[in-house]
Amino acid sequence: MTADSGQIPYELINGPVADPYQPRVAETYSDATHLWQDVIGPGLWFQFGVYGQDDMPAPQDESPESLDASGRRHLERQLDIAGLNDHGREPERILDVGFGWGTALEHLARRFPHCPRLDGVNISLTQTEYAARRTAALSLAGRVKLYLCNAQDLWLLPDPEQPYDLVLMRGSITHFSAGLLDAALRALASRMSGGGTLVISESLYNIPLQDYTSALPDDEDRLACGHRKTLNLLADALMRNSFMLQDARRLPTDEDVIHWLQDVRANIERVFPREIPKAFRELRDTAVNLTAALHEGTYSVYSIIASR
């Protein structure tokens, strides 16, 4: 089934089993995109950031310490760890699971200009429609295909005879229940090429989950991130579903994550001086909790590279 709102094409894929948590995740990202840009940066990079100088060209009006620059630098650092910055090596087919507003897909389309096919899946209609408009405006629609699709249904994506050799799951696993994580990884394994690369960025806890206590009371499921995970839990799920762990490290550093959280929290308080919309209030409170956990050493953001 293809949805087409004017010039906004994307494909809707419904699997045989509904995910009861999906509406809560979609609700998190239902606010107007321009509000998210005011909070996390115009480029809409939303998976923390790496701060400091680099060799990447950036817009003249962009500070190297900006949220956009730090977010782009984070992805590039992961690609470098995965060996994907080697000259002459380009993926044949890319998948971004939970593509947000299309930022990483746009970056990868430019980063790998000879890659003929880049797919993205998401469950937020608001984000998908924005990403579709963005893709069309940049004349990338011929290479970039967007799907409103739950991660457990990746096996239903078109063209199974063309396996993915690069897959991103950056910030999406945080919304997965344990059952959905296994279902998504199992479906993904069936669609990746042997030796294909999986790049993950995820918020993980460094202590047993039953021992963690948040600084602010856990009286609500903030940002649909209630299914917390540890590095061991995620590593076990990867191995159980035919993936081999190649690299796991804290990236960005705890200090850089705190920097990013403080910048985002300051933007929320600046943009919404009176009443803060629900998602951004939850993001502010999450920033408080995660900053405290980072100082205590109970939480970190991890870069994980795995192969099929």
Task: Supply the pLDDT for residue 9.
Answer: 85
Task: Supply the pLDDT for residue 271.
Answer: 98
Task: Supply the pLDDT for residue 75.
Answer: 97
- All structural domains of the chain, each given as residue ranges with its CATH number in brackets, are 2-307 (3.40.50.150)
Report in angstroms the alpha-carbon separations of 3 from 10, 136, 206, 252.
6, 15, 42, 37
Task: Supply the pLDDT for residue 62.
Answer: 66
- Beta bridge partners of residue 305, listed in sequence order: 199, 247
Distance CA 164, CA 196 (A): 7
237-241: long-range contacts, CB 8 A cutoff, minimum separation 24: 237/178, 237/181, 237/182, 237/185, 238/185, 238/198, 238/304, 238/306, 240/182, 240/185, 241/182, 241/185, 241/186, 241/188, 241/189
- Report the relative pairing of strands 9-12 and 2-4 from DSSP bridges: antiparallel
pTM: 0.94
Task: Supply the pLDDT for residue 69.
Answer: 96
Question: What angle in degrees, to the nearest 10, is found between the helix axes of 67-81 and 103-111?
Answer: 60
Mean pLDDT for each 10-residue chunk of the chain (308 residues)?
A: 56 96 97 98 98 65 85 96 81 98 96 95 97 90 93 98 98 97 98 96 98 94 97 98 98 98 98 97 98 98 97
HEC per residue, the chain: CEEECCCCEEEECCCCCCCCCHHHHHHHCCCCHHHHHHHHCCCCCCCCCCCCCCCCCCCCCCCCCCHHHHHHHHHHHHHHHCCCCCCCCCCCEEEEECCCCCHHHHHHHHHCCCCCEEEEEECCHHHHHHHHHHHHHCCCCCCEEEEECCHHHHHHCCCCCCCEEEEEEECCHHHCCHHHHHHHHHHHHCCEEEEEEEEEEEEEECCCHHHCCCCCCCCCCHHHCCCCCEHHHHHHHHHHCCCEEEEEEECCCHHHHHHHHHHHHHHHHHHCCCCCCHHHHHHHHHHHHHHHHHHHCCEEEEEEEEEC
